[in-house]
Structure 1
Amino acid sequence: MDDGTWVDPAGTTDITFGKLLGRYKESVTQTKRSRRSEEYRIGKIMRHKIAEYSMRNLTTSILAEYRDQRLKEASNSCVCRELATISAVITHAQREWGLSINNPAKLVKKPRLPPGRNRLLKPAELDRLLHELNAERHELRSKWLVPLANLALETAMRQGELLSLLWRHVDLERRVAYLPITKNGKDRYVPLSSAAIAILKSLDRVDERVIPISQNVVLCAWPRACKRADIEDFHFHDLRHMATTRLAQKLPNVIELSAVTGHSNVQMLKRYYHTTPEELALKIG
């Protein structure tokens, strides 16, 4: 009354959370590079009973109950992503769709995230893994798996970046590879070491892609090779951790290192750099 304004609550707070999720999924999620994972996440939330609540009745306690229930079924990091998505949907509705609603997700305590992975292979383990990935040992194995793994170790590029890398974006004379789209939405140039250049020169150009295989090939072959090599709990993405740790020894400057690896901030870079007290003792003399 003092401001001379009035908002009809029936048009905002009575809308169900499920309708907001559906609208967000159709209009916002489709514009994101990570739309597949977010579509799956939103679809899972829409099948939960919290989607039936109106925004008037969707409270912090209800979302806290949802969090506790999901923690019995999923990991802490998975639940954190779901809560972040819920908060993002409501915030977007507030800012972009002009809905006068509260965001109870901002007050929900997030589960504690687990520490970053620190699984690095010893030289003997790496040799066994590359030996098992070698196509010459079995006619059904892809010949692209070994160069893919070696390029990941030399460049610290992500699996998706390597599988989408095109020959026209590789300049062997300048020793750089151009990535027009990366995980954080920015393009970047990746410097290529002499070993990376040698790997690229040894590859057959059978396609516009440098590594002409699908992600599904890697998903199927990787755990099998690890099992044959008697290596437990090692993911393809752990190669990026190993590569970052190696590069840090050559590039002590954090800004230069992040420019190579493509990390958007130093805090995230720290999760990928792993060293030992013995190595640090040698450095300080």
Structure 2
Amino acid sequence: MASIIKRSSRGTTKYEAAIRRRGGVSVSKTFSSRREALAWAATIESEIARGVFVDRTSAERNTFGDLLERYQREISPYKKGGSLEILRIQRLLTDPLARIKVATLTGAHIAQYRDRRLAGDMKRKAVSGSTVNRELTLISHVLTIASKEWGVHVHVNPVSQIRRPRENRARTRRLGDDEEKRLLVELEPNREDVARGYGPGGCRGCRNEYMRPIVILAIETAMRRGEILSLRWDDVHLEDRYVRLHDTKNGEARDVPLSSRALQTLAELSAKHRHIGGRVFPVSVEALKQSFVRACERADIADLRFHDLRHEATSRIAERLDNPLELSAVTGHKTVQMLKRYYHPRASDLARKLG
């Protein structure tokens, strides 16, 4: 039998229902009336007797924000792209979704979150369907880990109950005729900025001397942002004209050949100074993103993302390496289908080949 304990404090009376059974089942809950306490106790005892009892204490006690904070401490740091995921979690922690108890979290709450992100508001701009889908995938995985490994009861993952927004169309953005030149001009050292104390690079407005060589390397090698930022001098082989990537997106190491321009860029950077930690580009993902956005704004270049440089590089390299196997060896794509998503030949270039 359950025990009902009456507790009074400062003129308020509460009733605690407690159930303790042999075999480790020990649960309790407090109610404002004795009738509610008895009804809850009867339900729990029936579930125990039928062998279907599930402890909901953790789900009732923890908010979704509590799960997010634990996930970013215990899971995200060990994932590829973990730093970006932590930024995504920090944004989620400011959303009303984070304040909802896990036990009461439903598909309707997730749908409201989806719609808020797609519509935007006064504080945050609207985001694309692809961005929302990545966030929904993260929310779903947090709840799955909590249910399987942390003992938090999630009867049905609410993300599985809603409609996902439509994915964006694949991007085909390439650099225009003079966009590369304008962008690199805005990343050149500026004496006036150096004089104002912006550091040895004196990068116009971005204060980051590594941005120009990073952009050149991206255009020349088709390396991903994370691959460029994780590059270490021990893996740069200037004499043999290649760099070795140990930690790539597909999990396999890759040797990336260096064009003459890429080789010169790394050689010049090596001759200046090397970071004490051994990284070629000691720059954070967020710093790179902000610097690139500002440089595009100053160069009056619209709708260009850093990842578009990988599309540009793949398309340029394809003009020199017409063998798909050789091309995929450079870019790291494992299938021809994925490679095709990054190859965007200009119609004018194809017309010239046709004669």
1:153 deviates by 1.5
SS at match of 1:113: coil
**Given the alignment, which residue of 189, 207, 211 partners 2:274?**
207
Residue range with higher mean Cα deviation, 214-223 or 26-35: 214-223
1:65 equivalent in alignment to 2:112: yes
Closer, same or farther in 2 for the Cα pair 1:227/1:62, shift >3 Å?
A: closer
| Aligned positions of 1:1-285 closer than 5 A | 5-11=51-57, 14=60, 16-18=62-64, 19-73=66-120, 74-76=126-128, 77-97=130-150, 99=153, 101-135=155-189, 140=194, 141-142=202-203, 144-203=210-269, 204-208=271-275, 211-212=280-281, 214-215=283-284, 218-219=288-289, 221-263=291-333, 266=336, 268-280=338-350
Residue range with higher mean Cα deviation, 135-144 or 84-93: 135-144
Aligned residues: 283
> Residue 231 of structure 2 contacts residue 281 of structure 2 at CA under 8 Å; is this kept in 1?
no
Higher helix share: 1
> Residue 245 of structure 1 contacts residue 275 of structure 1 at CA under 8 Å; is this kept in 2?
yes
Which stretches in structure 2 are left out of the alignment for 5+ residues? Answer: 1-46, 121-125, 195-201, 204-208
> Residue 132 of structure 2 contacts residue 165 of structure 2 at CA under 8 Å; is this kept in 1?
yes
1:70 deviates by 2.5
Measured on the aligned residues, the alpha-carbon RMSD in Å equals 3.4
Which stretches in structure 1 are left out of the alignment for 5+ residues? Answer: none
CA distance in 1, matches of 2:143, 2:149: 10
CA distance in 1, matches of 2:71, 2:191: 49
Closer, same or farther in 2 for the Cα pair 1:248/1:282, shift >3 Å?
A: same
> Residue 133 of structure 1 contacts residue 225 of structure 1 at CA under 8 Å; is this kept in 2?
yes
CA distance in 2, matches of 1:223, 1:62: 33
Closer, same or farther in 2 for the Cα pair 1:148/1:138, shift >3 Å?
A: farther
> Residue 186 of structure 2 contacts residue 298 of structure 2 at CA under 8 Å; is this kept in 1?
yes
Higher strand share: 2
> Residue 242 of structure 2 contacts residue 258 of structure 2 at CA under 8 Å; is this kept in 1?
yes
Larger relative contact order (Cα-Cα within 8 Å, sequence gap ≥ 6): 1
- What is the percent sequence identity of the aligned residues? 42
CA distance in 2, matches of 1:11, 1:247: 58
One-letter amino acid of the structure 1 residue matched with residue 167 of structure 2: L
